[in-house]
Amino acid sequence: MSNSFPQPVSLEEVPTLDMAPLISGGDSRRLAQALRSACEGMAFFYVTNHGVSQETIDAALSASKRFFDLPLETRLKVVKDRFHRGYLPLGTTHFPGRGPDLKDSYDIGVDLPLDHPDVVAGLPLHGPNQWPDLPGFREPLESYFAAVRDFGLQLLKLFAYSLDLNAHFFVQHYTRPTILMRLMHYPPQEQATDPTSIGATAHTDFGLVTVLYQDPLGGLEVQKPDGEWAAAPPVPGTFVVNLGQLMARWTNDVYRATPHRVVNRLGKERYSIPFFFNPNHDAQVACISTCTGPGRPAQYPVVTAGEYIANLVQINQGYQPPGESDT
Ligand SMILES: O=C(O)CCC(=O)C(=O)O
Ligand SMILES: [Fe+2]
């Protein structure tokens, strides 16, 4: 991999969409059209006026930094458990055939008690959150989680409008969503022990939609249709939104899952918080009626959202679904 910085994306390719009409309950028709053209293009865009306050974002980021500043043995006390909640040490994310990602992370999901029916039923990736013994960590992250989830629910309506569906099309599949929120920490690249390790190897996200906060350092790169990599630099006050494999499947590739990666070239610690906003475990992902027609046959078999995601988390992040880890 070259060490040179790629050119930044152009604003036409990766636009900034102003979410104000959506958040204020105004007329979102033009915004839905803008979303559609963004998703038919690079399917990678920034959102502004998303309704999540800067204080909420800053508090979450500072809690995350404090966690990764803890000694490794303290972090390991909350190592990821059988619900895939907690600390994922360096090297955990390892796509087959590539070097391990040069990052560690901390996973938080919807907080379900052990006696919740979905946990009792052993649904993958469902369970209680783990919290380290770190005062002032849990509250800001729970606030951030709730705020981004609320934004995500609005965004789902906009996705539905943009595909000529009724507002509830996606929201109805989010009554018990399989959200994974990941606090990411990327050490400087020169700490790589394996030359093939970069911050986050090229990938597409697994689920429906990802809402990403990245710190001011930069390092996120997106692959253009011609295969070139371009930088998606941090823009103050925005989130980056990108689509995952379930969205591509659901829309029959009308909307695409865009490959992206992280290369932390600046010699400093980088932090980010992707929020993988995935549907209910049992959501059936079958070609949307407005995304097929003569000349555009449905290309993907129907999948169950939670099984699809759990399988990819198992392959790439060493997740052991219930039943396999408990025996
Ligand atoms: O850290 C980032 O900016 C992006 C992370 C990412 O793409 C992922 O975790 O799927
Ligand atoms: Fe990603």
Q: Is residue 256 part of a domain?
A: yes
Q: Is residue 325 part of a domain?
A: no
The domain of 208 spans 17-317
CA-210 nearest atom, ligand 1: 10
Query: Which pTM was predicted?
Result: 0.95
User: For residue 32, which phi and psi values (nearest 5 degrees)?
Assistant: -65, -35
Which amino acid does the sequence have at 182?
R
Instruction: Render pLDDT for 125-141 as a digit per residue (tens, 0 to 9).
Output: 999 999 999 999 999 99
| 120: number of Cβ within 10 Å | 12
d(C-alpha 54, C-alpha 61), whole Å:
10
pLDDT score, position 200: 78
Indicate whether residue 214 lines ligand 1 (CB < 6 A): yes
Q: Is residue 153 part of a domain?
A: yes
Q: Is residue 124 part of a domain?
A: yes
Average confidence (pLDDT) over 152-165: 98
d(C-alpha 226, C-alpha 203), whole Å:
16
Top mutation candidate among 9, 68, 108, 212 for ligand 1, by most atoms within 8 Å of CB? 212
d(C-alpha 124, C-alpha 185), whole Å:
25
For the chain, how many structural domains are there in total?
A: 1
Report the Cα 254 to chain-centroid distance in Å: 20
Average confidence (pLDDT) over 41-68: 97
Q: Is residue 234 part of a domain?
A: yes
CA of residue 317 to ligand 2 center, whole Å: 13
Residue 310 tokens, joined: 């759990």
Indicate whether residue 101 lines ligand 1 (CB < 6 A): no
Indicate whether residue 147 lines ligand 1 (CB < 6 A): no
CA-205 nearest atom, ligand 1: 10
| 158-179 as b/e: b if 16+ CB within 10 A | bbbbbbebeeebbbebbebbbb
Q: Is residue 7 part of a domain?
A: no
CA-276 nearest atom, ligand 1: 10
Q: Is residue 278 part of a domain?
A: yes
Q: Is residue 263 part of a domain?
A: yes
Mean pLDDT of the chain, nearest integer = 92
d(C-alpha 294, C-alpha 51), whole Å:
40
CATH code assigned at 274: 2.60.120.330
The ipTM value here is: 0.99
Residue 192: pLDDT band (50, 70, 90) is low
pLDDT score, position 325: 47
